[in-house]
Structure 1
């Protein structure tokens, strides 16, 4: 069984379109409700959990659910994340805590519940961001949360090495969306690079996810794979 944390984002749904085996989706109830027909059509299992308001009771409930499910987990894909799009001048404490809860704290403790069920030579792939290694305006909280994810990946790789569980992160750059061409995100940086010249596709990211989850036999572990067509160079 494959577990996808935050699997109902646009990227998550694009990935799920290519995968038809056993899947357990961890997502907040509102997202599950919006996509319940898609979930049922695919035959996926799901567990509603809201990282914004995560409690010990919810985590224990997830542990009970996994124990009763009694299935070995082959891989975990962590895709949960959010951004307040605020600057260091404007961000509030509530916004900061929301971003870190959804992007870091929630996945951290959810994965902890799954570790007893992860099979040897399994894989964990975490979706981080180019912004974790490159500054960006109005990403004060998002960039820091994603940078922390990167370090979590490296720590997990070390701690799970004896069980031969491989942990890696993908750091996507700007992913192509039609509205990028009509939004403020298409801007000229001081070095003269246009965002539009460096857009990657959802397919690019999905292909790397699939490779790391299905074909990584341990040569890559604790690594951060930056996908930005050289934008950060």
Structure 2
């Protein structure tokens, strides 16, 4: 009896320790945030609910729009064919939409986090009498540009990981075209600036030339008057 009682006590103590470890593990998981499976299920449920509501709206519109004409059966068959063709790629499309939804939410969260801390950083650097405001503005512009570059690089890296090879190639071509367009736009702006500078320099040179000519004529007039005075004397 004493041995059985001791065994029961040890079993109870071990089960109590197991429960404690399990509860601590659960608490750690909860404090660490959502797991990948939980995040996936959350956004999958959101997208499926959106698609179901869209499907219900389409069905309601179909019911309201059905008439008694003879072409109703043909139209229904066409709709069924389209629906079956769309359902063939539904799984891949759903997976891609979940990936993109997670990516969008993570990017928005990061930007909000950065803006929160940047506001705190910029708030204390005013200085007395407005001194150094121009330097702070330049620093803020540099930080904003750096953050934009980091966000675009992060987005392109994540897309390259998540997208299929064919979709990745399409996205790369699209980004390359966009970069070319931006480069051409910047080149046009730079040319316009250069033309404006050249025009300003030419106008400045003409103004200086006119100023020199005016001074030369003024000195020539003064010299002629001095010669007349000397002749009279």
For the criterion TM > 0.5, the same-fold answer is: no
Q: Which structure is higher in RCO with an 8 Å CA cutoff and minimum separation 6?
A: 1
Larger Cα-atom Rg: 2
TM-score range for the pair, normalised by the shorter chain length? under 0.3
**Structure ranking higher in strand proportion:** 1
